[in-house]
Amino acid sequence: MDMQQTTQIIRKLAIEAGALIMDVYNSDDFEVKSKSDESPVTIADETADKHIFAGLRNAFPDVAIVTEEQSNTHNETANTFFIVDPLDGTKEFIHRRGDFTVNIAYVVDGKPVAGVVYAPAKQRLFYTDATGQSVEEFGDHDANKIGETKPISVSTPDNGNLIIVASKSHRDQATEDYINKYSVKDSAAAGSSLKFCLVATGEADLYPRVGRTMEWDTAAGHAVLLGAGGDVVRFDNHEPLTYGKPIFENPFFIAYAPGVALQTA
């Protein structure tokens, strides 16, 4: 796989999908439906999904694609695949809070080696370049023209003054109990895979997730964090979080900057 080509294509598709999402976001009203698991879905999710899937299939006809919005892809068993969440943070989107993202990742042998996370309402764009280094791109985010980019890197944590980021929609007592094991200077809330990106840029040191997620929720942010020098491990045993698991379901996990003294559950 040509990683420069891969990066360029997933970046382009994410920006184009973001524009489709913002057309719906800025409209007067849109319908909210419920999926079989009772999670919400909108025309923005579906439109972005179709665009990304078609673009990936055209560019990479022989590579498997797993996407949240197409249940027929959830039985995929390939070792190498793209995994997509066309609109991560649908609840944030519905309530027009802005913390939603387009997530596209490329997984090889269980590891997300390339990824893009685009938050169109917040105008933040993060992705891995051809070398695997993660960057943030600034400007208007033109799908056909790369703007100014800056390499990003995790913090050097101070374990006596950590900055924690946690979910806006899923911050429960179990999460609070775990956070209380650390010496916390500040705590922030963010939606979608932006939490990984805040650790990747050094804006936070630690993101614990004590709750159910799927691989399409995490793979792109995981790739960005890896490319910024961070890591993601399982909550239970601190082993690396891997991809291609049965039904693409994640265990609880911890995303962090190396140097954080990880606490046990």
| Rounded distance between C-alpha atoms, residue 47 and residue 51, angstroms | 6
129 is in an annotated binding site: no
90 is in an annotated binding site: yes
87 is in an annotated binding site: yes
| Rounded distance between C-alpha atoms, residue 234 and residue 172, angstroms | 18
249 is in an annotated binding site: no
Question: At residue 118, what are phi and psi to the nearest 5 degrees?
Answer: -125, 125
For residue 137, the cross-strand partners are 125, 149
89 is in an annotated binding site: yes
46 is in an annotated binding site: no
231 is in an annotated binding site: no
Residue (of 98, 125, 90) closest to 190 by Cα position: 98
| Rounded distance between C-alpha atoms, residue 118 and residue 250, angstroms | 22
| Rounded distance between C-alpha atoms, residue 90 and residue 199, angstroms | 22
Q: Which string of b and e fits 210-241 if b means at least 16 CB within 10 Å?
A: bbebbbbbbbbbbbbbbbbbbbbbebeeeeeb
- Residues tagged in the binding site annotation: 68, 85, 87-90, 217
- Annotated binding residues for Mg(2+): 68, 85, 87-88, 217
Known binding-site positions for substrate: 68, 87-90, 217
